[in-house]
Chain A
């Protein structure tokens, strides 16, 4: 399962804007990849003034077509450059990075076909959950709650093929007005295992809401190397971490997905 990390050559096959500041890019790679939901790649801007990789979560990967889909938010100069990349553009990304969600373990803890998993996605934390929803839906019941700023939603309908989907928006223009947890309360949604990806306040709230249930959180942190060497992207852990023997796990290697009770957020 642990494939070698390397620079992987890719060609842009499709790039489109799917919501305000949100872009979907399809990259074709000749070589077959082994990808788990929740893993990410490091995409590099071309400009020589920008050196560092942009860690971008993998939305989906289809082995049969060789298409790796990234859905990202334009946040600064690097991602702005990506949004301008056209079909045929050649690049090389660093991959495949991070641990990803342990799909088998999650499905098993949920109780398999008779159980259920509740997915929480907030903003740009939504994309990696799509592949997770797909893989989990083959093993257990999946319910998804997605939080957006406004009614300008994205990926929403793609989630619907894997189970019921509820939404929450900050301005109330689509679904429940408020947070993903407001949507849970309003709709009486439940789940045996919880998985979440999104802004830290949301992750914190989901962790609290889990109340003893198994819960997996995907964290985000500023990175430099993406492979565990520079120790920039650490998060606080409850246990002594294996690498530095303090309480700092590396989000890029031990994460980005952590069991909620292992991290302090």
Chain B
């Protein structure tokens, strides 16, 4: 009895994305968290709203040459190039591991052609454990596919529509910030049938070592993430939330509950933690706990009251 009473005093942390109820709005950002296995020493995966996996292709991908990462002020650049073992190994190993956990599984899908994406989407559509698919059309680090679909409204609309027709799971389109007007892309994805949006993917950047006069990354350019990108991400979430009706998963440099609250206030229905896991491996969990405390302090009974509730 006591326990129930205590529980009802705590704020309601659940949110809903495309008909899927998450126990809280905190996810991991694709590419920073593997499939969660490596982070088990640091945090209880059962307490996360969702685990968003590293990108999965139809075949294994080698990724880019090294160095693949570089630190920059308040963040980092990465050009991993979507190294992954392919969907077969993913289902056998990673999904088998994740499905034992009490969290929602969102699989990030990558491809070089539309057909590549469709193949992975079809395979994962048959897996009951998969809650949603996040379509990565915004990785700045691979030459073919990926971002080519995410920077052009027509191409984005086309791939979204085709995936929507074959997917038995809700699809989240992950948007690139490397565009003139992200709202146009957000609307294009919504109109083509996207069930949700996630933003932002990394911002293309570059670092040069003045001593050696060389590019620091073998790929020359890499995606910027970390606290340095957060104001850009919050602004983009806000703009898109004004323009679309589908839910938005906000991310970009979230380090703590205050940062997460910013994204929710800007209009995100959930948030994802990425780069900061490299600084503090249990950041996502700290955000879950911190957000609950924040709601208590703000005298809110549900985290959903925060969504888009920024005051003019």
Measured CB to CB, the residues of A under 8 A from B are 4-7, 44, 48-53, 78, 94, 221-235, 243-248, 253
Other-chain contact of B61, A223, A229, A234, A246 (Cβ < 8 Å): A246
Other-chain contact of B62, A229, A243, A247 (Cβ < 8 Å): A247
- B166 on interface, CB distance cutoff 8 Å: no
CB neighbors of A among B55-81 (8 A): 60-63, 66-71, 73-76, 78, 80
Take A225-B277, A229-B34 as given contacts and tell me if A6 and B67 are in contact as well, using a CB distance cutoff of 8 Å: no
- B41 on interface, CB distance cutoff 8 Å: yes
B278 contact set on A, CB distance < 8 A: 51-53, 224-226, 230
B39/A229 in contact, CB under 8 A: yes
Other-chain contact of A232, B42, B69, B89 (Cβ < 8 Å): B69
Q: How far is the CB of A222 from chain B (nearest CB, A)?
A: 4
Task: Give Cα distance in the complex from A232 to B39, angstroms.
Answer: 16
B31 contact set on A, CB distance < 8 A: 230
16 A-B contacts (beta carbon < 8 Å): A4-B41, A5-B41, A5-B42, A51-B226, A51-B275, A51-B276, A94-B281, A222-B67, A224-B69, A227-B41, A228-B38, A230-B32, A230-B34, A230-B78, A243-B85, A245-B60
B54 contact set on A, CB distance < 8 A: 229, 231
Q: How far is the CB of A125 from chain B (nearest CB, A)?
A: 18
Q: How far is the CB of B182 from chain A (nearest CB, A)?
A: 25
A232 contact set on B, CB distance < 8 A: 66-69, 78, 80
Take A4-B41, A229-B39 as given contacts and tell me if A246 and B83 are in contact as well, using a CB distance cutoff of 8 Å: yes
Closest to A230 in B: B32
A230/B39 in contact, CB under 8 A: no
Closest to B28 in A: A229
A227 contact set on B, CB distance < 8 A: 38-39, 41, 281
- B33 on interface, CB distance cutoff 8 Å: yes
B226 contact set on A, CB distance < 8 A: 51
Task: Give Cα distance in the complex from A132 to B291, angstroms.
Answer: 47
A244 contact set on B, CB distance < 8 A: 60-63, 83-85
B34 contact set on A, CB distance < 8 A: 228-231
Measured CB to CB, the residues of B under 8 A from A are 31-34, 38-39, 41-42, 54, 60-63, 66-71, 73-76, 78, 80, 83-86, 89, 226-227, 275-281
Closest to B66 in A: A221
Task: Give Cα distance in the complex from A182 to B83, angstroms.
Answer: 39
Q: How far is the CB of B62 from chain A (nearest CB, A)?
A: 5
Q: How far is the CB of B141 from chain A (nearest CB, A)?
A: 12
Q: How far is the CB of B271 from chain A (nearest CB, A)?
A: 18
Closest to B60 in A: A245
B61 contact set on A, CB distance < 8 A: 244, 246
A248/B63 in contact, CB under 8 A: yes
Contact count A vs B, C-beta below 8 Å: 112
Q: How far is the CB of A256 from chain B (nearest CB, A)?
A: 13
Give the interface SS of chain B, mostly helix, strand, loop or mixed.
loop
Task: Give Cα distance in the complex from A119 to B68, angstroms.
Answer: 30
Other-chain contact of B66, A48, A50, A234 (Cβ < 8 Å): A234
Task: Give Cα distance in the complex from A225 to B54, angstroms.
Answer: 14
Q: How far is the CB of A183 from chain B (nearest CB, A)?
A: 28
Q: How far is the CB of A232 from chain B (nearest CB, A)?
A: 4
Closest to A222 in B: B67
The 9 tightest CB contacts between A and B, nearest first, are A229-B34, A229-B38, A222-B67, A232-B69, A245-B85, A51-B279, A232-B68, A245-B60, A246-B62
Which of A7, A44, A231 has the largest count of B CB atoms less than 10 A from its CB?
Answer: A231
Q: A225-B278, A234-B68, A245-B60 are in contact. List 12 more A-B contacts (CB 8 A).
A: A6-B41, A52-B76, A52-B278, A222-B70, A224-B78, A227-B39, A227-B281, A228-B38, A229-B54, A230-B69, A247-B62, A248-B62
A222/B85 in contact, CB under 8 A: no
B32 contact set on A, CB distance < 8 A: 225, 229-230
Which of A50, A51, A245, A248 has the largest count of B CB atoms less than 10 A from its CB?
Answer: A51
B275 contact set on A, CB distance < 8 A: 51
B83/A248 in contact, CB under 8 A: yes
Other-chain contact of B279, A4, A44, A221, A248 (Cβ < 8 Å): A44
Task: Give Cα distance in the complex from A245 to B33, angstroms.
Answer: 18
Other-chain contact of B80, A5, A51, A231 (Cβ < 8 Å): A231
A48 contact set on B, CB distance < 8 A: 74, 227
Task: Give Cα distance in the complex from A44 to B54, angstroms.
Answer: 25
B42 contact set on A, CB distance < 8 A: 5-6
Take A51-B278, A52-B71, A229-B34 as given contacts and tell me if A245 and B86 are in contact as well, using a CB distance cutoff of 8 Å: yes
Take A51-B275, A245-B85 as given contacts and tell me if A225 and B62 are in contact as well, using a CB distance cutoff of 8 Å: no
B62 contact set on A, CB distance < 8 A: 244, 246-248
Task: Give Cα distance in the complex from A38 to B84, angstroms.
Answer: 27
Q: How far is the CB of A98 from chain B (nearest CB, A)?
A: 13
Task: Give Cα distance in the complex from A231 to B89, angstroms.
Answer: 16
Task: Give Cα distance in the complex from A7 to B89, angstroms.
Answer: 31
B280 contact set on A, CB distance < 8 A: 7
Task: Give Cα distance in the complex from A77 to B270, angstroms.
Answer: 35
A231/B60 in contact, CB under 8 A: no
Task: Give Cα distance in the complex from A174 to B138, angstroms.
Answer: 54
Task: Give Cα distance in the complex from A212 to B76, angstroms.
Answer: 41
Closest to A228 in B: B38
Q: How far is the CB of A68 from chain B (nearest CB, A)?
A: 19
A53 contact set on B, CB distance < 8 A: 278-279
